[in-house]
A and B are shown apart, each in its own frame.
Chain A
Amino acid sequence: MSETPRLRIRGLHKRFGVKHVLRGLDLNVAAGGSTVVIGGSGTGKSVLLKCILGILQPDEGSIQVDGQELIGAAPAVVAEARARIGMLFQGGALFDSLPVWENVAFGALARRQVERRNARALAVETLAKVGLGPEVADLSPAELSGGMQKRVGLARAICTRPEMLFFDEPTTGLDPIMAEVINELIVDTVRKLGATALSITHDMGSVRRIADRVAMLYDGRIVWAGPVADLDHSGNDFVDQFVNGRAVGPIRVGAAGIGSG
């Protein structure tokens, strides 16, 4: 791990009314690595990503990207940091009103990285990287299967060649074969881009496929972090229970917050 992590989070708190979702979360993500945050539904995994992206405002704590503090920073600083991050949303979050190619090239157009007349070609080129042909470019997102939507979402995330990629439950709702295809694409695209990846999931197959390091989120804090190779002998009761899918253990189902990711 390099001395300055690409992403450094300290003491992160986020409340929604009386619900205290993140309770002093600490996390380091090393440059060039692939870190996966695991945890049950409702433990605040998606909230963590949205806090980093500036979509949600944390109540307390520190989030640094390449040593640059984002909490309390000027909007331009947050926007600049956000522009270096690509995000694949759980449901794809493709824009219904736009054809696939405009979805893919949306970020590049917004950041003026490409002229509108060249945007379609860029989108087709990026779609090819996720295994989709040019015939998909003019389709509407509603015409795509779940797996294709994930691929288009991935193409949109990588189109601007971001330095960091976030994946929110990338394999949720997919059949095992398509899940494996998406996992493979994630590993491949992250490697080719040389990007730093931060994923959240509770799909252990996906974790083992895409992670270098794993962090376990429970009760608003990271209760264990280590290399993926140590996952099966972590010595942590929370991790053991989660990885083995046991109903009995220190994880209180329904107490730590079961709801949206």
Chain B
Amino acid sequence: MNPLAAIGRAVLTAAAATGSLVVFAATAVGRGLIGPWYPRLVLRQMVEIGYFSLPVVGLTAIFSGMVLALQSYTGFSRFEAESAIATIVVLSMTRELGPVLAGLMVAGRVGAAMAAEIGTMRVTEQIDALTTLSTDPLRYLVFPRLIAGLLMLPLLVLVANAIGVLGGFVVSVWKLGFQPIEYINRTFEFLEPLDVISGLVKAAVFGFIVALMGCFQGYHSKGGAQGVGAATTRAVVTASILILVANYVVTELFFAR
């Protein structure tokens, strides 16, 4: 087997998949903006993505904040920098952990569900049925999910940030002996609006990615149950990888000197 041919094939496959994804996203957004709009479906997806993801994102955030405080304390105490813990916790949560962990958790929960639902609709001809009933599946199924992902993940991340900071506060005050007022003051001392804003922008990008990958993989699923299962796996894996890549890109855009 010629290794160059294998590399060429892989590159062509990746390029075709990327092109297909970009065309899918552009078509869905383009048609969705023109309308007709489905506000009830957007609302339903917002509840699904935002409200029902709160427990899992909240749990992830609180334990991340707690462990961050604990790890920072054990590390920073080696050079007597324990006072920086509050700053470390809040900056880590708002800039990185809040959006990335929420994005990954939502990818696992919502992205998988979207791919499974739309994939099942594909293999049971429900998407074809939509078309025969004068309804564009991209407008009806995909666009509301993209909008809901884009809008709800920043809100989820705001909540996750608050819960994560609370987790750090709880460990710092009750286990590490920090003064509550001093910890709170330290938390806000070096926090800048851009730290929060960059995290929210990341969250919006991640929300779009999760919804896009869930819809794209589900929409193009083939075969029966096995095809839907494979699409669900692909949706979670590709969304997770794209979140990590996009995280670096957005960080670079905001903070590169």
Point out residues on A near B: beta carbons under 8 Å. Answer: 50, 53-55, 79, 82-83, 85-87, 89-91, 93-97, 106-107, 110-111, 156
Query: Which one, B117, B120, B129, B135, contacts A89 given CB within 8 A?
Result: B129
Asked, given contacts A90-B125, A95-B126, whether A106 binds B135 with beta carbons under 8 Å apart, the answer is yes
Counted as pairs of residues, one from A and one from B, with CB atoms less than 8 Å apart, the total is: 49
Per DSSP, chain B at the interface is helix
Within 8 A of A (CB), among B68-126: 117, 120-121, 124-126
Give the chain B neighbours of A54 by CB distance below 8 A.
131
Q: How far is the CA of A106 from the CA of B59 in the complex (A)?
A: 40
Asked, given contacts A89-B125, A93-B125, whether A107 binds B131 with beta carbons under 8 Å apart, the answer is no
From residue B132, how far is it (CB to closest CB) to chain A in Å?
A: 4
Nearest-neighbor residue (CB-CB) of A46 within chain B: B125
Give the chain A neighbours of B121 by CB distance below 8 A.
95-96
Give the chain A neighbours of B2 by CB distance below 8 A.
none
Give the chain B neighbours of A111 by CB distance below 8 A.
134
Query: Which one, A53, A90, A91, A96, contacts B132 given CB within 8 A?
Result: A53
From residue B143, how far is it (CB to closest CB) to chain A in Å?
A: 15
Asked, given contacts A91-B124, A93-B124, A93-B126, whether A106 binds B132 with beta carbons under 8 Å apart, the answer is no
Q: How far is the CA of A91 from the CA of B120 in the complex (A)?
A: 12
Asked, given contacts A91-B124, A96-B126, whether A110 binds B131 with beta carbons under 8 Å apart, the answer is no
Nearest-neighbor residue (CB-CB) of B133 within chain A: A107
Q: List 8 A-B contacts (CB under 8 A).
A: A53-B128, A55-B131, A82-B131, A87-B132, A89-B128, A94-B126, A95-B126, A110-B135
> Beyond A55-B128, A55-B132: 11 further Cβ-contacts under 8 Å?
A79-B134, A91-B124, A93-B124, A93-B128, A94-B126, A94-B129, A95-B126, A95-B129, A96-B121, A107-B134, A110-B133
From residue B178, how far is it (CB to closest CB) to chain A in Å?
A: 49
Q: How far is the CA of A243 from the CA of B159 in the complex (A)?
A: 67
Query: Which one, B129, B134, B135, contacts A93 given CB within 8 A?
Result: B129
- What sequence of 0s and 1s flags, for each residue 124-146 of chain B, a beta carbon within 8 Å of any chain A beta carbon? 11101111111100000000000
